């Protein structure tokens, strides 16, 4: 999206660098991301939303702005298909028992993309597409989507607002972009557990919210598979927001989710990268997240 843009290719390089530096790169099985099919995208997105990306690609070297901070370049369609395709392929690999769980190191992120529109750096909603795939192809009836990105996953909420098969749990800094996810008391559907927290909230407070709010909801829902919108922009070094989490907090949260998956879902987890813009912190957080997923301590 341009040299100046925080959602930049260096994010994935930073993750790779830290995987190598930490020594866990050689322990992971790596797979290339295939392209999602149009039918995969259509499980979540309207034809107009798909065409909005596909039909407006600019010439190499120029950009087309979908909104103030979401831009297309000549390669955006290909990248968006690979990002969604990674999430779908990871779901297949986990459902077939080829791997216990999977992390998709993908760009662009997805959780702000609504069924009808790309926005907020996100073109298509990777995690929502994968969750729909799990339900429609494998017949799963209870899914959990856990979103720990610092921003509210408005696109994911919109995709499943009417679908109680999907429990969505999240916390997010409030007020902050995209200024959504706040339901007047008593009006939120019971399958949407979005917890707004103020700026400067630290990890100990978030862990207590996870203990008291997320875990009972997840245990009640008994999900057959977990999907994680893994954004790491709640890290205290990340200037996209103002929260105070550190690597150990993301590791702790991931361990709780691994335990939920073990109890109810045969261990099945697909985690998809969302935000995280402080490059060093992003890489370190992904290492902590993967160590917890792989039970490497």
Q: How far is CA 119 from CA 126, 155, 261, in A?
A: 13, 9, 31
How many chain residues interact with Zn ion (CB under 5 A)? 5
Stretch that binds Zn ion, among 24-32, 56-64, 151-159, 219-227 (CB under 5 A): 151-159
Closest by alpha carbon to 79, among 157, 151, 1, 19?
Answer: 1
Position 275 contacts Zn ion (CB under 5 A)? yes
Packing angle, helices 47-54 and 76-95, rounded to 10: 130
Q: Catalytic one among 45, 111, 112, 174?
A: 112
Stretch that binds Zn ion, among 31-39, 79-87, 269-277, 283-291 (CB under 5 A): 269-277
Stretch that binds Zn ion, among 16-24, 68-76, 141-149, 190-198 (CB under 5 A): 141-149
Stretch that binds Zn ion, among 46-54, 98-106, 224-232, 251-259 (CB under 5 A): 224-232
Q: Which is nearer to Zn ion, 224 or 233 (CB)?
A: 233
Q: Which is nearer to Zn ion, 110 or 267 (CB)?
A: 110
Position 203 contacts Zn ion (CB under 5 A)? no
CB of 8 to Zn ion, least distance (A): 14
Q: Which of 112, 151, 174, 268 binds Zn ion (CB under 5 A)?
A: 151
CB of 123 to Zn ion, least distance (A): 15
- Side by side, which strands form the sheet with 192-197? 101-104, 269-273, 225-230, 143-147, 166-173, 192-197
Position 238 contacts Zn ion (CB under 5 A)? no
Burial 127-164 (b: 16+ CB within 10 A, else e): bbbbbbbbbeebebebbbbbbbbbbbbbbbbbbbeeee
CB of 37 to Zn ion, least distance (A): 27
Using CB atoms, what's the residue nearest to Zn ion? 275
CB of 153 to Zn ion, least distance (A): 9
Q: Tell me the sheet residues that pair with 67.
A: 70
Stretch that binds Zn ion, among 34-42, 67-75, 227-235, 252-260 (CB under 5 A): 227-235
Active site residue 183: no
Report the C-alpha gap between 246 and 153 in whole angstroms. Answer: 21
CB of 154 to Zn ion, least distance (A): 11
Q: Which is nearer to Zn ion, 171 or 264 (CB)?
A: 171
Position 85 contacts Zn ion (CB under 5 A)? no
Position 7 contacts Zn ion (CB under 5 A)? no
CB of 235 to Zn ion, least distance (A): 11
Measured in degrees and rounded to the nearest 5, phi and psi for residue 230 equal -95, 85
Q: Which of 149, 157, 224, 247 binds Zn ion (CB under 5 A)?
A: 149
Q: Is 173 exposed, middle or buried (0-12, 13-18, 19+ CB in 10 A)?
A: buried
Q: Which is nearer to Zn ion, 225 or 230 (CB)?
A: 230
> Contact 290/24 with Cβ under 8 angstroms?
yes
Catalytic residues: 112
Residues that bind Zn ion (CB under 5 A): 149, 151, 231, 233, 275
């Amino acid at each position: 999206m341009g040299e100046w843009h925080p959602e930049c290719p260096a994010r994935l390089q930073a993750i790779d660098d830290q995987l190598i530096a930490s020594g866990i790169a050689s322990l992971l099985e790596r797979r290339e991301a295939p392209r999602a099919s149009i039918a995969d995208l259509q499980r979540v997105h309207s034809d107009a939303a798909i065409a909005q990306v596909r039909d407006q690609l600019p010439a190499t070297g120029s950009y087309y702005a979908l909104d103030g901070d979401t831009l297309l370049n000549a390669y955006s369609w290909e990248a968006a298909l690979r990002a969604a395709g990674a999430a779908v392929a990871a779901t297949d690999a986990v459902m077939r028992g080829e791997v216990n769980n999977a992390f998709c190191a993908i760009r662009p992120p997805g959780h702000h993309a609504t069924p009808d529109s790309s926005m907020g750096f996100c073109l298509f909603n990777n995690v929502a597409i994968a969750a729909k795939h799990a339900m429609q192809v494998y017949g799963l009836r209870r899914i959990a989507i856990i979103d720990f990105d610092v921003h509210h996953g408005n696109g994911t909420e919109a995709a499943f607002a009417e679908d109680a098969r999907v429990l969505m749990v999240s916390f997010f800094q409030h007020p902050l972009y995209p200024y959504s996810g706040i339901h007047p008391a008593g009006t939120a559907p019971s399958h949407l557990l979005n917890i707004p927290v103020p700026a400067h909230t630290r990890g100990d407070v978030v862990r207590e919210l996870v203990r008291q709010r997320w875990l009972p909801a997840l245990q009640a829902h008994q999900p057959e598979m977990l999907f994680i919108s893994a954004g790491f922009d709640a890290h205290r070094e990340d200037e996209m927001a103002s929260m105070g989490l550190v690597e150990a907090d993301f590791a702790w949260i991931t361990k709780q989710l691994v335990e939920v998956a073990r109890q109810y879902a045969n261990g099945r987890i697909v985690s998809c990268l969302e935000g995280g813009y402080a490059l060093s912190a992003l890489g370190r957080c992904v290492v902590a997240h993967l160590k917890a997923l792989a039970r490497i301590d």
